[in-house]
Amino acid sequence: MKILASLRPGSRFYYAPSLPFIEQWLDKTRFNVISHYDNPGQYGSSTIEKLSHEAIIKQ
Protein backbone atom coordinates (compact mmCIF):
# COMPACT_ATOMS: atom_id res chain seq x y z
CA MET A 1 0.00 0.00 0.00
CA LYS A 2 2.95 2.35 0.58
CA ILE A 3 3.88 2.02 -3.08
CA LEU A 4 0.38 3.06 -4.17
CA ALA A 5 0.28 5.92 -1.69
CA SER A 6 3.57 7.23 -3.08
CA LEU A 7 2.29 7.40 -6.67
CA ARG A 8 1.70 10.83 -8.14
CA PRO A 9 -1.72 11.44 -9.72
CA GLY A 10 -1.77 10.02 -13.25
CA SER A 11 1.17 7.68 -12.65
CA ARG A 12 1.01 3.89 -12.87
CA PHE A 13 2.35 0.85 -11.06
CA TYR A 14 2.87 -2.31 -13.15
CA TYR A 15 3.30 -5.73 -11.54
CA ALA A 16 2.92 -9.47 -11.99
CA PRO A 17 1.30 -11.70 -11.03
CA SER A 18 -2.07 -10.02 -10.63
CA LEU A 19 -3.47 -9.96 -7.10
CA PRO A 20 -7.26 -9.81 -7.55
CA PHE A 21 -7.87 -10.63 -3.88
CA ILE A 22 -6.11 -7.36 -2.99
CA GLU A 23 -7.15 -5.29 -6.02
CA GLN A 24 -10.84 -5.71 -5.16
CA TRP A 25 -10.35 -3.65 -1.98
CA LEU A 26 -8.71 -0.62 -3.62
CA ASP A 27 -10.64 2.64 -3.50
CA LYS A 28 -12.16 2.96 -6.99
CA THR A 29 -12.40 6.72 -6.62
CA ARG A 30 -8.61 6.91 -6.24
CA PHE A 31 -7.28 4.03 -8.37
CA ASN A 32 -8.02 2.41 -11.72
CA VAL A 33 -7.02 -1.27 -12.03
CA ILE A 34 -6.41 -2.90 -15.41
CA SER A 35 -5.68 -6.64 -15.43
CA HIS A 36 -4.00 -8.36 -18.38
CA TYR A 37 -4.48 -12.08 -19.02
CA ASP A 38 -2.88 -13.07 -22.32
CA ASN A 39 -3.33 -16.82 -21.88
CA PRO A 40 -6.33 -18.25 -20.01
CA GLY A 41 -5.27 -20.25 -16.97
CA GLN A 42 -1.94 -18.43 -16.72
CA TYR A 43 -0.84 -15.76 -14.30
CA GLY A 44 -1.70 -12.26 -15.45
CA SER A 45 -0.25 -8.85 -14.84
CA SER A 46 -1.90 -5.68 -13.58
CA THR A 47 -1.59 -1.95 -13.89
CA ILE A 48 -2.82 0.37 -11.17
CA GLU A 49 -3.20 4.02 -12.08
CA LYS A 50 -3.59 6.68 -9.41
CA LEU A 51 -6.39 8.91 -10.61
CA SER A 52 -5.81 12.61 -10.88
CA HIS A 53 -8.00 15.10 -9.03
CA GLU A 54 -9.74 15.96 -12.33
CA ALA A 55 -10.60 12.30 -12.97
CA ILE A 56 -12.07 11.97 -9.48
CA ILE A 57 -14.31 14.99 -10.05
CA LYS A 58 -15.65 13.51 -13.35
CA GLN A 59 -16.89 10.40 -11.54
Cα–Cα dist 49/12, whole Å: 4
The answer on pLDDT for 52 being more than 70 is yes
In this prediction, residues 1-25 reach a mean pLDDT of 93
Output the DSSP codes for 3-57.
HHHHPPTT-EEEESS--HHHHTTS-TTTEEEEEE-SSTTS--EEEEEEPPHHHHH
- Beta strands 12-15; 31-36: pairing state: unpaired
Give the number of domains in the chain.
Answer: 1
Q: Which domain holds residue 25?
A: 2-58
In this prediction, residues 5-15 reach a mean pLDDT of 95
What is the CA 12 to chain-centroid distance, rounded?
A: 7
Cα–Cα dist 18/56, whole Å: 24
The answer on pLDDT for 21 being more than 70 is yes
